[in-house]
Amino acid sequence: MSHEMMLAAVESLKGHKVMIIGDLMLDHYLMGEVERISPEAPVPVVRVEKESFLLGGAGNVARNIADLGGLPLLIGTVGRDQNGGVLEDLCTRAGLTTRLIHDGDRPTTVKTRIIAHNQQVVRVDQERVAPLSPDGMDRLFELLESTLDDYAVIILSDYGKGFICREFMDRFLPMIKGMPTPPKVLVDPKTVNYDLYQGVDLLTPNTKEAGEGASMVVTGRESVIEAGRAIFKRLNCRNLLITLGPDGMALFEGTDTIRHIPTFARKVFDVTGAGDTVIATTALGLASGMDLLTACTLANYAAGVVVAQVGAATASPADLKETIEELPEPKVTYWKE
């Protein structure tokens, strides 16, 4: 793929719609320095110098799409609490269109990361892992019935917090299959829910998640191929993208067409949110009319941008263009057994 092709792909992203359904959460960062060990226990004392809140989970996926010039619709749930208000304000400031279901019995999911010297010291989670209530599920599907026709690509952003569950998938998959032109469904999987993703258009696990989905250890090219084929057999999905960290990506278009996309990361400071960037960029690329290989290659460039930043970052069109122009043209190769 030439630089000219990839730069044109970046330009084509603007103005296209993607629906994101899934676990919405608030990323809370406390950043500072460690100068001593606590006298109370053998743990570092972090002197906080900066506090920030960012959209996490499905919210970060939507933010990635918006920052690339796309038009995301974010569907999720928040609690009737202060953190829910913070999250909704962040959505507004990010320019996101949202359809949020408020649940008074469910706190807004918050992940607090304490970071010192650009290294994460500890993470603290506040959450309730459970499906929506029956009333909440009915409200969700009333909303979907009124909006699905406008979206050709849907992301299911599953972080294992209960929004994507058996009850949801048992209603969602028949609903979209019954549409005259079903949308493409992309899933960022959670291992515990693998069997829910039957027949989806694209699954995007990392190496660890692929190994767990295939019930094997993934350590190199041959095991990636074996794991990929086991996932196809288990789920009958149409395509599979396994992200390999510093080794790039393996794209399966069916079980026999396997391409390796090399990594485009120049520096790696923080992999937080890289999976969100990959699925967001791929989905927006498909919504703009790209073929799957081009969309995934562009997503690999975007992932290379965000891992060079600390926290759940995003890539802008300008970032992508700069990276594409600075790096060699991607050498995509076929993988064979």
- Which residues are designated catalytic? 276
Answer for the pair 213, 189: CB distance below 8 angstroms, yes or no: yes
CB atoms near residue 226 (< 10 Å): 15
Three-state DSSP at 252 gives strand
The CA-CA-CA angle for residues 312, 313, 318, to 5°, reads 165
Q: Of how many residues is the chain composed? A: 337
Residue 73: HSE in the Cβ half-sphere, 13 Å Cα cutoff: 16
Rounded Cα distance between 114 and 99, Å, is 30
Pull the structure tokens for residue 248. 């790039």
Q: Are strands 24-37 and 44-57 parallel, antiparallel or unpaired?
A: antiparallel
Q: Are strands 97-103 and 71-79 parallel, antiparallel or unpaired?
A: parallel
Rounded Cα distance between 231 and 245, Å, is 19
Place of tokens 């073929």: 291
Q: How many distinct helices (H) and strands (E) make up the chain? A: 10, 14
Query: Residue 157 is which amino acid?
Result: S
Phi first, then psi, for residue 272 (nearest 5°) are -55, 125
Query: Would you say the C-alpha torsion 243, 244, 246, 249 has a positive or negative sign?
Result: negative
